[in-house]
Amino acid sequence: MLKHALIVAALLLPGAFANAHEYTVGDLHIAHPWSLALPPNAPNVAAYFIVHNNGNADDRLLSVDSPITADAQLHEHTMSASGAMKMQQVPSVAVPAGKDLVFAPSAYHVMLMQPKDRSLLADGKRFPLTLHFEKAGDITVDVAVQKQPPTDQPQGHEHAH
């Protein structure tokens, strides 16, 4: 019985590693960077991830870049005075000590403007994204392009200010 359980576990292990892609730099841990597959007529695409700050000091995400675009921007969704949601670029984003910074639909996100190679934004592909932090430095992650948002990721308005 144990032998069969070990064989099954060994067969399932590569799949678990293929789906989970996480990165650590200093006190920061970046979990599962992802993007939706780019629809044919969409000019831009967004990327999402969660930054866990395991340290005792705040950090700051200063900027992002990717070889797939000449223009990668940090954005957030905000509620306008009229009650409508709007998207706006932000110069940087705080990563509070001991907390999570969530990049998710309807929250903070990375906008990749006018991607150069749209074929890299198809379901199952991956593209590099470099995050530039004030204290932790630079970390390059692979963004997984998916047809659907991951089911284990927070959605909505959860984000740190």
**Residue 115 CA: distances (Å) to CA of 11, 106, 126:** 37, 21, 13
Q: Is residue 8 part of a domain?
A: no
H or E element that contains 3 = helix 2-19
Q: Is residue 102 part of a domain?
A: yes
- Specify the long-range contacts of residues 79-88, CB closer than 8 Å, at least 24 apart: 87/111
Q: What's the CATH code of the domain at 89?
A: 2.60.40.1890
Q: Is residue 49 part of a domain?
A: yes
Report DSSP state, residue 9: H
Spell out the per-residue pLDDT of the chain, length 161, in tens: 544 433 434 444 443 344 458 999 999 999 999 999 988 888 999 999 999 999 999 999 999 999 999 999 999 988 888 888 889 999 999 999 999 999 999 899 999 999 998 888 999 999 999 999 999 999 999 999 999 888 765 544 333 43
Q: Is residue 100 part of a domain?
A: yes
- Whole-prediction pTM value? 0.80
Instruction: State which residues form the domain around 94.
Output: 23-146
Give the count of domains, the chain.
1
